[in-house]
Chain A
Amino acid sequence: MSLPVRVGTLLVAFAAVVAGAVFIVIHYLLGGPALVDYTPTASGGQVNVVLQEDPQNDSTNTPDWVSYYVQNPANKQWVHTTLFKVPAGTTVHMTILGYDGCTPARNNYWSHVQGTIGGTVNVRWVDGKGQEGPAHNVSLINTWSRCNVGHTFAIPGLNLFVPVQSPDSTASLCSVSPCTSGPHSVEKFSFRTPNHGGTFRWQCYVPCGGGFIDGNGGPMQTLGYMMGNMEVSS
């Protein structure tokens, strides 16, 4: 092998190693779900946050994983992430659109609404034709009674535990994410963020990780799907 060929091979190999290292850094270390910042929209000590939970997602690698989406307050577009940021000492008015079907919780204790202002959530259904049902306040949504609860939204650090009502079990669920139509529940509740900054993890307590042991792997343990962080800025 001539000298130019050997030098060329060496340079190509070196470039490949460098490219691999750059890919790893960008893809695994710097990559990850986006953070949706709600702090600019906070006003008068209050902020509105909107999430939806879907039976699938729009990623190419794991399209069959159930997933939450966060609405960008600036353009109302849905962002495939579970990271959002709110101000400290603020009342968060949360709206969750529940598009996914029902699964019982492993512990029916999670049927109990805890940590919301008033200890209740406001629930109403929207059918597949967009017709809205009446809204009602509840403090308990029994995950073990008929087809009731799709997922939960819980911030253990704030003792906030909210079951999210699933839509009518007989209707066809939304099949394209992020969902913009199809039967779903609209659940509203409010809670206070602490007066100090910090990161508060949130998660779902329904075993919705299909294909994993106890249903607790996959989306249940991956940022951007069924668990995430609420950043509280001081």
Chain B
Amino acid sequence: MAASEAPATTSPAEPRHARRIFLIWIVLALVADLLIWFLWKPHMPPGDMSTSAEHQQTDIAILALTAAPVMLFVWTYFGYALTNWRYRDGDEDDGPPIFGHTGIQATWIIGTAVVVLAAFVFGTVELIIPAGAGAGEGPLPVWKPDGSNYLQVQVIGQQWQFTYRYPQFGGMETTQLVLPQGRPVEFHVTSLDVIHSFWAYQLGVKADGNPGVDDVAYTTPEHTGGFTVRCNELCGLWHGAMFNYGTVVSATDFETWASTTETQLAAVTKILPPYALTYDPTVIPQLGQDVVKVAGITGANGYYYNPGDPVQP
């Protein structure tokens, strides 16, 4: 093997470079990881407002903890090489020949394999434990929070506004997103027109809103306060303006808000379609038939527009 053929390239006077590099690197890596964990992590996005957000924050911190030593090793070696092995005046000799080294090769392969496998296992666990990590799981979610006392909130996207329905409160619909602290929330995200994406940033929730599709995502708000909701899928001219703000309040305040709002919106709720996981906006139950075929709908050149009529030129 090449390793056995490698000549002794280090003279007795030559310092032990590998040991020096290792010591420099281990000190830097330790300091960096301590700074990352104790100073940087509390400020990492998306914060710790919900279970999913808290896990995402931890995930990002652990990725940083893992990446920092690797990055520092490269920088340390680079700096050490520049300092110690740079070209000097009068030095016209070739550098020492480089041979294979079984130990280094094995360490590299095993080390990278361990890192990648650990990332795979860690990522999978972090997807399962926080019930899908706040991501949309489609209509048949695999991972759910413990218990059954979910608050169901339907998120309806429409160019360019989100509205929210609360099926456990008479199916009321509102432009306000209010959630209780400490209770698991089951979001059902859908759309009435084009593709949207419901992104409750500080809650660490992101789920696509596609017409005719029920996309389910979970989280449990842990702290009261405000959060931002943005559309995260380019959905037309005013996509950038499709945002609003939600609030996490105490369980008591939520019950008060929900019951009050349900009463205030009773007249509107009556004329909404029955709560469903998806809606076909071209079918209006109150008119008794497919609205595209309803006579007397005279607006906008004479009729209502269904998704395929006609294709945009």
Contact = CB atoms under 8 A, between A and B. Distances in A.
A132 B55 CA distance: 63
B299 A208 contact: yes
B267 interface: yes
Interface in A150-176: 150-151, 154, 156-157, 159, 161, 166, 169, 173
B241 A201 contact: yes
Interface string B260-287: 0000010110011100000001001011
Contacts of B313: 211
Interface string B192-222: 1110000000000000000000000000000
A209 interface: yes
Size band of the interface chain A makes with B: 35 or more
Contact of A142 (B271, B297, B306, B312): B271
Nearest to B282: A106
Interface stretch (A31-39, A79-87, A215-223): A215-223
Contacts of A215: 300, 304-305
Contacts of B236: 216, 221
Contacts of A221: 236-238
Contact of B159 (A146, A159, A220): A220
| Most chain B CB neighbours (cut-off 10 Å) among A109, A159, A161, A169 | A109
Interface in B283-313: 284, 286-287, 291, 296-301, 304-307, 310-313
Nearest to B235: A216
Interface residues of B, number: 41
A81 to B, nearest CB: 17
A161 B161 CA distance: 11
Given A104-B287, A142-B271, A214 B307 contact: yes
Nearest to B242: A156
| Most chain A CB neighbours (cut-off 10 Å) among B160, B273, B287, B298 | B298
Interface in A76-105: 100-104
B256 interface: no
A208 B300 contact: yes
Given A104-B297, A144-B287, A147-B296, A156 B312 contact: no
B312 A217 contact: yes
A124 interface: no
Among all A-B residue pairs, the 6 with the closest Cβ atoms: A215-B305, A103-B299, A101-B298, A210-B301, A208-B300, A106-B281
21 contacts: A101-B298, A103-B300, A106-B192, A106-B193, A107-B163, A107-B192, A112-B268, A114-B175, A140-B271, A156-B241, A205-B158, A206-B299, A207-B300, A208-B299, A211-B301, A211-B310, A211-B312, A212-B305, A213-B312, A214-B305, A215-B300
